[in-house]
Amino acid sequence: MLSLRNKNVLVTGGAGFIGSHLCDQLIEQSVAKLVAVDNLFLGKKSNLQAISRTRKNFLFAEIDVTNPAAIKKIIDRHRIEVIFHLAVVPLEVSLLKPDWCFTQNVKMTQNICEIIRQAARPITLVAYSSSEVYGSARYTPMDENHPLLCHTPYAASKLSSDVLVYSYYRTFGIDMALVRPFNNYGPRQNEGSYAGVIPITITRIMRGEKPIIYGDGKQTRDFIFVGDTVAGTIKIYQNKKSRGEVFNLASGQQISIAKLIKTICREMNYRGEIEHRSERPGDVRKHQGDASKAEKLLGFTPMVRFEEGIKKTVDWYRRREI
């Protein structure tokens, strides 16, 4: 098993939802230095407040990964040996600004790959993909061989980034692995602009507003708690057999949006009405991940049950409001 001990590590998108949780777990791996970069489009410095205050070997830099000179300067200055690439413009933006979302996401990945290719020392890349690249399930559970049928420009940008990373592996021999997480949830998930269904529902109920279901609510997702995804991500780095491979990280459960909303309502003791709106464009119909590859090769097993994860998430939002 490879170790992160005494390594200089970079997390792009490090002030974001998943990125900040990854930073929390990486710092416990006895890294020499941990650098998080984020342009704060969605990320928040407050997500890194605890680690910034307590860990002298942690550094945050407000940098846009689409700027190749800026990100190269960070990588060179801190002699980065491992990059976890999570910086992304999210799906909801691609419904409003499809060209910009696609270009930004591919450009960030291209910059990272090209810096690694030109680096004087080896740099390992663990890059984040998305289950959105599969589109709506043709079969379940969806393994890594499922057809790649993108529904949105966001999904297309993530698939293009995956292909780009893999091309650098095949052509230039960069040390890489791809993480394909399903629907993450948990504390710190963005509840403002471009938010996901879970933080939106929690904050609406807290404000005394009705939760919303788009479409018939029968569309399903595979919700995985953020801590499980982060633990799986570290396992992917640690196992040399992961190189050149893509790994689903999923709970293996199929949860309907209607069940999700009802679970949140029950946890928050909400007994009011639920508002129904028209289906959103590009919404996939069915998702259920197959993480057996990660289980067999890496020993990955999700630890947090769905109901437990919802409780942890609701509790976090409530504490933040106190």
Q: Is the Cα torsion angle 301, 314, 93, 65 positive or negative in sign?
A: negative
Residue-wise pLDDT for 60-79, tens only, equals: 999 999 999 999 999 999 99
Element counts in the chain: helices (H) and strands (E): 11, 13
The Cα 135–Cα 275 span in angstroms is 26
Instruction: List b or e across 159-170, with b for residues whose CB sees 16 or more CB atoms inside 10 angstroms.
Output: bbbbebbbebbe
Q: pTM score, two decimals?
A: 0.96
What does the pLDDT read at residue 158? Answer: 98
Q: Which residues are catalytic?
A: 154
Residue-wise pLDDT for 227-268, tens only, equals: 999 999 999 999 999 999 999 999 999 999 999 999 999 999
Architecture, CATH, for domain 8-188+224-250+290-304: 3-Layer(aba) Sandwich (3.40)
The Cα 128–Cα 86 span in angstroms is 5
189: Cβ contacts below 8 Å, ≥ 6 apart: 17, 195, 196, 198, 199, 226, 313
